[in-house]
Amino acid sequence: MRTEFVDIHAHFLPADAVAAFGRPQLVKATGRVDNGGTAMAVLGKQVILPAALSDLDGLLADMERRGIAKRYLSIPPFLFLYELGDREADAWAAAYNDSIIELTRARPERLAPVATLPMGSPDAAVAELERVVRLGVRMVQLATNVLGRELGEDCYRPIFEALHRSGAMALLHPHYIQGRYGSNRFHLRNLVGNAFETSYSAAHLAASGVLDEFPGIRLCLSHGGGALPYLRGRLQRGGDVREDVPLADIDQVLRSFYYDSAVFSSESLDFLAAVVGADRIFYGTDFPFDMSDPLGPDERFAKFGPAVRVKLPRDLPGQPLGPFTTIPAPSEIAAGTKHGEEER
């Protein structure tokens, strides 16, 4: 049986989401740009979207080309819009979620929705999570901070409790980059700032006890966890020698998260697998942005060393994500070993 690869990290904006929101003074399309992209006014700022962000045929063709069986579609981060006031934020999350649920419902074998939550109000976020889970959603996407507030702060505990209870996975996606790394000269806000932001957010979640309180919670870190796996030694040393660092076993922390494979380097992916375990890594592209993975999953994971076994999720009815499908090590293929069997 051929391994069915799932893309856990891909963005899509259904064409009708903005219209369904119905607040053109806050978000509206303002026209086409030369390369076919769409210009939008978002909270008074001009944003240029790649045409592929709302092109369903193009997205499906890209999946075909790369050999991706199924894609989880999430909101592009600049549309989290946690800045909106409570009622507007609720309306925006509901408009996006209803649109992406509707779009993916027509192709459940190829596409799955990733919901966004109005994180500015934890109560509203829990209510929206519970609503979309009732509609069949198995995954949400959260920004790595809420307008500068860390997800590890006590006020967000009800959201993690609800995630834990529902079994839904949350993709933590860097956004709202603060301070020094907020400057985008040379695109470094994305290249460096995003990676640091995810690392900081994940370390804060671990140190603040969220992972201990909700063991088994499914939190997936974008871009291979940013710099987090490489910071393993520093974090462990801090936990060993400092009383104000409640990190006793950093390897256990690192293995509590899931990770996407969007690091774009086979050496980095090998290192990630060595530190966190290959079974914690999902294929993720960051489609359709220019910084998305140029390689399909077969090629991306083919470069793994022969000893590495990679498990990727398959989506089955009634289960949030999984069971996992094992990709064979090249040596097993050569030896004719049966592979691709589901692991329970």
Distance CA 282, CA 300 (A): 11
CB of 75 to Zn ion, least distance (A): 10
Residue 260 contacts Zn ion per CB under 5 A: no
Distance CA 311, CA 343 (A): 9
Residue 184 backbone dihedrals phi, psi, to 5 degrees: -105, 20
Contact code string over 315-334 relative to Zn ion, x by CB under 5 A: --------------------
CB of 9 to Zn ion, least distance (A): 6
CB of 226 to Zn ion, least distance (A): 12
Please report, as residue ranges, which positions from 128 to 147 form the binding site for Zn ion (by CB under 5 A): none
Of the pair 142, 327, the CB lying nearest Zn ion is at: 142
CA-based nearest residue to 263, from 214, 299, 300? 300
CB of 318 to Zn ion, least distance (A): 28
Of the pair 99, 222, the CB lying nearest Zn ion is at: 222
Please report, as residue ranges, which positions from 169 to 208 form the binding site for Zn ion (by CB under 5 A): none
Of the pair 285, 326, the CB lying nearest Zn ion is at: 285
Of the pair 98, 286, the CB lying nearest Zn ion is at: 286
Q: Which residue is nearest to Zn ion (CB)?
A: 286
CB of 260 to Zn ion, least distance (A): 9
Of the pair 196, 232, the CB lying nearest Zn ion is at: 196
Q: How far is CA 295 from the centre of its chain?
A: 18
Please report, as residue ranges, which positions from 278 to 307 form the binding site for Zn ion (by CB under 5 A): 286
Of the pair 169, 253, the CB lying nearest Zn ion is at: 169
Of the pair 128, 286, the CB lying nearest Zn ion is at: 286
Number of residues that bind Zn ion (CB under 5 A): 1
Cα–Cα–Cα angle for 117, 216, 329, rounded to 5 degrees? 105
CB of 30 to Zn ion, least distance (A): 23
CB of 316 to Zn ion, least distance (A): 25
Residues that bind Zn ion (CB under 5 A): 286
